[in-house]
Amino acid sequence: MITKLLIANRGEIAIRVMRTARAMGLQTVAVYSEADACAFHVRQADQAYEIGPAPARESYLNIQAILKAAKETGADAVHPGYGFLSENAEFAEACIQAGLIFVGPPAAAIRAMGLKDRAKILMRDAGVAVVPGYLGEDQSAVRLADEAAKIGYPVLIKAVAGGGGKGMRYVERAQDFDAALEGARREAKAAFGDARVLVEKFVSQPRHIEVQVFADKYGDCIHLFERDCSLQRRHQKVIEESLAPGMPESMRDAMGRAAIKAAKAVGYVGAGTVEFIADASDGLRSDRFWFMEMNTRLQVEHPVTEGVTGLDLVEWQLRVANGEHLPRSQKDVRAVGHAIEARLYAEDPDRGFLPSTGQLEYLRFPESGNGIRIDSAVQEGDYVTTYYDPMIAKLIAVAPTRSEAITKLTLALRGTQIAGVSTNAAFLIRCLSQPEFRDGTIDTAFIERFRGKLLSVERVPSPEIYAAAARFVVEEAKAAASTLNKADPWSICDSFRIGGHARESVVFVHDGEQVEVSVLYREGYLPEYIVDGSVVKCPPDVAVTRLASGQIAIMQAGATFKVGLFDPFVAAELHASTTDVMLAPMPGKVISVSVNPGDNVPRGSPLATIEAMKMEHTLVAPADVRIAGVDVVPGDQVNEGVIIVRFAHCDDDVE
C-alpha cells in the first residue's frame, strides 16, 4: 500500500498529484533541481529532495538520483507525472527493482507503445486502423524519400520515439524532403536520444481526437470518452476540450472500442491515452479515423475529462497502482456538459511562438470556482527559465454547453494579468472568439489557416491604455511625495494652482514613438486624461505596474503593453544604434550556422538555428543581405539579444 508518494516531476503536474495524494491521506515528496530550489511544488510537499543541476538530463532525467531520493526519504511509490521519465520503460523497471510502486503501466506496455513504428505495426495486427505510411527499418535518406514519393505528398516525418511535435516535419514537396529529414533527425536525437523517423500520409483536414483509457491489473479496461486536441501550434496542443464537437455517437462508440482494443493489445494498466487522427473533410465519421500513437501516462489535458465525468484521474491512478479494481465499470461512467482547457504559455505568438523567459513581476489569475479551474505552479516573483517547458498555467472551464464553456474560459483569460514575460493569453482569446472555432469547424491547420486574424495583430496601445499609464505615474508620484516632509508646500501633489486649473504632461515612448498625455486637474473633479486633444477614460479592467526595467506595464484583456517614460538622452542613443544585425530572440544553444562572411543571402534563407526549451528555432534573413560576419559557432550558449550574424551594405567590403 502506498503511504508516501514521491512525484518525479515539477511544475503544475507535481502540484496536481500532491493535491489528490494529500486528500487520500498520503505523504508527498518533491524532487527538484538547483534551478527549482524555491519552486512552488517544493514548498507544497511534505518533504523535498535536491536531485541535481538545472539541466533536465542531470536532474529530472537522472534515474539514479530519483531512486536515491526515494530511498533516503522513505517513499514507497513514485508518480512520474508527464514528460521527463513518464514514458521511460527503464525508469519503470528501475522503480520496481528498487521495491517501489510505479504509478503507471508495466514497462512492457511502455516499450510496446514507445516507438511509433512498432506501435503502429502492433495496432495493425490487433485490428486497429492505422494511417498509411512507411514503418521500415531502412533509415537511409534515399529509402525514406522513395517511400514518401510512394505515399504521395504531402507527408509527415515523425520521430519514432517521443512526441509533443519534437522531431516532426511537414513536407509538401519532394525537393524539401532532405532538408526536413535532416532537421527532424537532429531534433529527435536531441530530444529523445533516437534519430529514427517514420513517414506517413498527411491527412488534409485532420482532427486530433484522443480517448482516455483506464485499465486495472485484473484485465478490466474502460474508456472515459474523448478529447479534441485539434487546435495546435507547431504540432503542440493549445486548446483541448471534451467532448469532441460534432462527433456522432456511432463514432464515439467506435473510437472508444478501438482505444480499449489498443490498450488490451499491450496488457495496459493504469491511465493512458490513445490518440487518433480523424479526416474531417466530410464531417466526422466512424470509418474515417486512424490510430496515431498511445501516450502511456497521464496527459496535460486530463482536467477536461475530469470536468465532464466528475472523476479524479489521479485518484484512479493511485488506486489501480495499489492493486484495486477500477472504481467504475463502463456502464457507470457518464459524460455531462462540456469542458475546455487553454494552455497559458510564456511565449510570443507574433514571433513564431518563441519562448519568453524572465521574472513574473506581476501575476493575477481569476478566482477558481463556479466552473473555473486554474492549474498552476507559479507565483508572482517566480522565474520562467530556459531549462523547462514555458507553461505558466492551465485554465479550465466547465459548463452545461460548449458555448457557455467557451464564454467562461474567455472571461477567465481576459481576467488573467501577467507582466514580466510575454504570454499567449490574447492569442488564446482570439482563437476562442473566432466564429469557426465557436461553431466547431476546427482541424489541426486552424491556426495556420486563420493566422492573419490570430497572429501579427497590431499591438499599439489605445488612448485608454495611455490614460491608465498616466494615472499610474501620477499616483506613483503622489505616493512618493506623501512620504516627504508634509510641511513642505512644494512636495504636496494636489490640484491647487494660482490663476487656473492645474495641468501636467506625461510623455511615453512605445516602439520609438512618443505619446503625450495631459492630466488636467479641476477642483472638485477627478483628473481628466487628454490624448491627442480628446478626453479619454481609464478602463476599469486594467492593471498597471512598474517593471524592474523602469517601464510601465499595462494589462488588459489578456494583452500586456509596455511603455517607457520619455528620456531624451536614451532616445538619442537609440537613434544612433545600428540595426544591421541578427540578434538571438531568446536564450538558447546554437545548433548550426548556415552562412559565412561574404555570402550573399536571399530573403528568408536560414542563417542559424538555436535550440531553446527543447525546440529548434531557425533564424532567417530579413531581406536580401550580404553577410559581414558571424559572431557564434555551433555549441555556443547565447543570451537573448546577443549578436548572431552581422549584415553588410551592398558596397561594404567584407573581410
Rounded to whole angstroms, what are the CA distances from 172 to 153, 156, 177, 316?
6, 9, 8, 43
**Pairing mode of beta strands 4-7, 77-79:** parallel
Q: Quick one: 436 and 350 in the same domain?
A: yes
The last residue of one of the domains, among 438, 456, 474, is: 456
The last residue of one of the domains, among 401, 432, 456, is: 456
The last residue of one of the domains, among 319, 336, 353, is: 336
Taking the C-alpha atoms of residue 494 and residue 475, their distance in angstroms, rounded to an integer, is: 11
Rounded to a whole number, what is the distance in angstroms from the first to the last CA of the chain? 71
Quote the pLDDT of residue 242: 98
Taking the C-alpha atoms of residue 281 and residue 443, their distance in angstroms, rounded to an integer, is: 9
Asked if residue 352 is part of any domain, the answer here is yes
Whether 111 is catalytic is no
Q: Quick one: 427 and 526 in the same domain?
A: no
Q: What are phi and psi of 177, to 5 degrees?
A: -65, -45
Q: Quick one: 254 and 119 in the same domain?
A: yes
Q: Quick one: 142 and 260 in the same domain?
A: no
C-alpha cell at 531: 490624448
Q: Quick one: 448 and 495 in the same domain?
A: no
Burial of 243 (0-12, 13-18, 19+ CB in 10 A): buried
Omega before 243 cis (within 30°)? yes
Q: Quick one: 345 and 426 in the same domain?
A: yes
Quote the pLDDT of residue 164: 66
CATH number of the domain that residue 550 is part of? 3.30.700
Taking the C-alpha atoms of residue 324 and residue 328, their distance in angstroms, rounded to an integer, is: 11
Q: Quick one: 401 and 352 in the same domain?
A: yes
Buried b or exposed e, range 529-538, using 16+ CB within 10 angstroms: bbbeeeebeb
pLDDT digits (tens, 9 = 90+) for 266-311: 999 999 999 999 999 888 999 889 998 999 999 999 999 999 999 9
Quote the pLDDT of residue 576: 41
Quote the pLDDT of residue 566: 80
Q: Quick one: 91 and 140 in the same domain?
A: no
Q: 405-408: long-range contacts at Cβ-Cβ below 8 A with a sequence spacing of 24 or more? A: 405/241, 405/337, 405/338, 405/339, 405/340, 405/371, 406/340, 406/432, 406/437, 406/438, 408/371, 408/372
Q: Quick one: 118 and 262 in the same domain?
A: yes
Burial of 517 (0-12, 13-18, 19+ CB in 10 A): buried
Asked if residue 593 is part of any domain, the answer here is yes
Taking the C-alpha atoms of residue 292 and residue 274, their distance in angstroms, rounded to an integer, is: 8
Q: Which domain holds residue 510?
A: 463-568
Taking the C-alpha atoms of residue 302 and residue 242, their distance in angstroms, rounded to an integer, is: 10
Q: Quick one: 187 and 215 in the same domain?
A: no
- Would you put residue 290 in left (φ > 0), alpha (ψ -120 to 50) or beta? beta
Look-up: residue for cell 498520503? 26
CATH number of the domain that residue 196 is part of? 3.30.1490.20
Q: Which helix (H) or strand (E) holds 308?
A: helix 302-309
- The helix/strand/coil state of 285 is coil
Quote the pLDDT of residue 498: 46
CATH number of the domain that residue 643 is part of? 2.40.50.100
Asked if residue 654 is part of any domain, the answer here is no
Q: Could you tell me the pTM of the whole model?
A: 0.81
Catalytic residue among 297, 343, 402, 430: 297
Asked if residue 83 is part of any domain, the answer here is yes
Per the structure, how many domains does the chain have?
6
CATH number of the domain that residue 428 is part of? 3.30.470.20
CATH number of the domain that residue 50 is part of? 3.40.50.20
Asked if residue 171 is part of any domain, the answer here is yes
Asked if residue 573 is part of any domain, the answer here is no
Asked if residue 655 is part of any domain, the answer here is no
**Residue ranges for the chain with pLDDT beneath 70:** 162-164, 458, 481-501, 567-579, 613-615, 649-655
Q: Which residues pair with 163 in a beta bridge?
A: none
Asked if residue 653 is part of any domain, the answer here is no
Omega before 390 cis (within 30°)? no
Q: Quick one: 269 and 388 in the same domain?
A: no
Quote the pLDDT of residue 650: 47
Quote the pLDDT of residue 402: 98
Q: Quick one: 98 and 236 in the same domain?
A: no
Q: 519-524: long-range contacts at Cβ-Cβ below 8 A with a sequence spacing of 24 or more? A: 519/470, 519/471, 519/474, 521/494, 521/495, 521/497, 522/495, 523/495, 523/496
Taking the C-alpha atoms of residue 585 and residue 563, their distance in angstroms, rounded to an integer, is: 20
